[in-house]
Chain A
């Protein structure tokens, strides 16, 4: 390791080596996912659900995916037949964990044969309490990639509702499962997909007064977990770029809190702006062209915008006090941010050039960490008086508190704007974990992580 560091120092300028000191090995990302079949024409469709509560009891049978020939694949050491069962298990977990459906997985069901995938053996699946049936197949291609097909059937109508297929690299087999879960979820709820996405967060270990905080990434279900930083320096508040090629986050790698932009493919990182001042709270614009960050000058913190490819920063706020954070509306025209210009923390909306700032939160508590929903219709925030996560409209109306932990903070939206992820800290121990809650506030669950977690940032649907 030391040798590697010396080698790197010899190659590049010393400051760059210093700021890369905390990084692990670059991560090899998987390949593209190619969609090979269009969804079937939806004529003759009769099953539509608009009320989410009706979905809670919707039984979905998800037997193992069939394979035409059980052959070796890098995706599973036991071959494509075993992989077919794994695919169904991932889909089952996806659909169960968001609290909307009652899926039954492959371990409690018979295994359909390959020809049955597009001609289900209906008597096998009736009387199992399932209104919906998912079938699928996995096939190893000669080019080493996998084709995964996904079919949703209505048991009562004995009819296919939707189907789609994807060609993936063996390493990306879970993405095919998530895409199938997304297909089923979207068809049954009318909502946009969200499973085929990733989460960046801070992995925490160690005692409360000496926590090790590492930048880490994982799939939306917690799989494919990888650490980006080694933990020698404290890392905080990551955000994925919309194309998933970069991560911006705060690191103390040079001893000061500064925002870096880490290129996932090359493993190199750069400062978001060349300044000796501390920088906080990175945020990407929805089109990825800009990064918002906050910078303290002589103790006064303002929000700035800089082209993500580099360039001259533009200062967006100038009120005395702490202006920090900032989250773009989905169309990029406005920014919601927090400021203590009126005393305590409150949420404000301004135009994306910084003009016309106005306070939107008047619910009585303090408003912090506002995040605009990808759908545009809601803003999630931390009530930093009671430390709960809530939502309100972009004009500050219809405030609803969704969580009840001792200290919940830092909401981040699922790509479809239906689920909010945040982190919850326990009293005294300071241990933190990632949690999810839906917009009803009723379906709350902890997202399992290998160690404690905080500062989650949910990226968009993967490209």
Chain B
């Protein structure tokens, strides 16, 4: 429980930090040579095709874009994050991935399912617009069924209105 709260706080502060800035330059991915060393003998470290590898490469804050209440537009902060994701998926064209759309709890269940689908599609459409083939991107909506922030307040709801990119094999 304490671990979860601590993780939540860390996540929240990371997001707050990102929100304060127009961009998130320090979240830029490390140079590919650092993580993707050509030595195949190294058994440690995340492998390409895993969520961990994706997160390490793009930075965890760049894996999720956030939306205002009832909105699904991709603003400049979102597009900066999606461009970082796009670079990664251009570099690893063998990867397919999923964009999960979510809504906060302050909406009716069925509408939120449709809203989550709309948000996932907005992120997908942006990625397609910067050159990622649509057939590599799956969307799924979880509506309000899978919150990451558990409180019932504006800050929690802001964290839950999101489209999260997840690498699948």
Contacts and interface: CB of A to CB of B under 8 A. Distances in A.
B105 interface: yes
Interface string A284-301: 000000000010101111
A382 B108 contact: yes
Nearest to B147: A209
Contacts of A340: 70, 111
Contacts of A454: 109
Nearest to A299: B121
B97 to A, nearest CB: 14
Interface in B104-161: 105-111, 113-115, 117-122, 125, 139-143, 145-148, 150-152
B83 to A, nearest CB: 20
B72 interface: yes
B151 A428 contact: yes
Contacts of A250: 113
A423 to B, nearest CB: 9
Which one of B107, B117, B148 has the greatest number of beta carbons of chain A within 10 Å?
B117
A248 interface: no
A407 B105 contact: yes
Nearest to B148: A209
Contacts of B151: 428
Contacts of B141: 257, 278, 296
Contacts of B122: 299
Contacts of A280: 110, 113-114
B108 A345 contact: yes
Contacts of B148: 209
A322 B111 CA distance: 8
Which one of B109, B115, B120, B150 has the greatest number of beta carbons of chain A within 10 Å?
B109
A455 interface: yes
Nearest to A277: B117
Given A322-B118, A427-B152, A208 B147 contact: yes
B72 to A, nearest CB: 7
Given A299-B117, A301-B114, A301-B117, A430 B105 contact: yes
B143 to A, nearest CB: 8
Which one of A294, A322, A338, A345 has the greatest number of beta carbons of chain B within 10 Å?
A322
Contacts of B145: 211, 213, 234, 236
Contact of A322 (B105, B115, B140): B115
A369 interface: yes
Contacts of A384: 107-108, 111
Interface size class of chain A, counting residues whose CB lies under 8 Å from the partner chain? 35 or more
Nearest to A339: B111
Interface string A264-286: 00000000000000101100000
Contact of B150 (A208, A344, A406): A208
Nearest to B120: A299
Given A296-B141, A369-B108, A324 B147 contact: no
A299 B72 contact: yes
A248 to B, nearest CB: 13
B117 A409 contact: no
A425 B105 CA distance: 10
A237 B150 contact: no
B106 A387 contact: yes
A208 B122 CA distance: 27
A301 B105 CA distance: 20
Contacts of A430: 105, 147, 150, 152
A278 B140 contact: yes
A207 B70 CA distance: 25
B110 A256 contact: no
A374 B121 CA distance: 37
Contacts of A368: 108, 111
A325 B122 CA distance: 22
Interface string A419-433: 000000101101000
B98 to A, nearest CB: 9
A188 to B, nearest CB: 36
Contacts of A345: 108, 111
Contact of A409 (B109, B139, B143): B109
B51 to A, nearest CB: 16
B106 A407 contact: yes
A428 B151 CA distance: 5
A296 B150 CA distance: 27
A213 to B, nearest CB: 8
A157 B9 CA distance: 72
Given A255-B140, A278-B113, A280-B113, A428 B152 contact: yes
25 contacts: A207-B150, A209-B146, A209-B150, A211-B145, A236-B145, A257-B141, A257-B142, A278-B140, A281-B110, A281-B113, A298-B121, A299-B117, A299-B118, A340-B111, A345-B108, A345-B111, A368-B111, A369-B110, A382-B108, A407-B106, A425-B105, A428-B150, A430-B152, A454-B109, A455-B109
Interface of B: 70, 72, 105-111, 113-115, 117-122, 125, 139-143, 145-148, 150-152
Given A213-B145, A296-B141, A301-B114, 14 more contacts: A237-B110, A257-B140, A278-B117, A299-B122, A322-B111, A324-B114, A368-B108, A382-B108, A384-B111, A387-B106, A406-B152, A410-B109, A427-B152, A454-B109
Enumerate the 7 nearest inter-chain pairs by beta-carbon distance, A residue then B residue, closest first: A299-B121, A301-B114, A299-B118, A296-B117, A368-B108, A322-B114, A427-B152
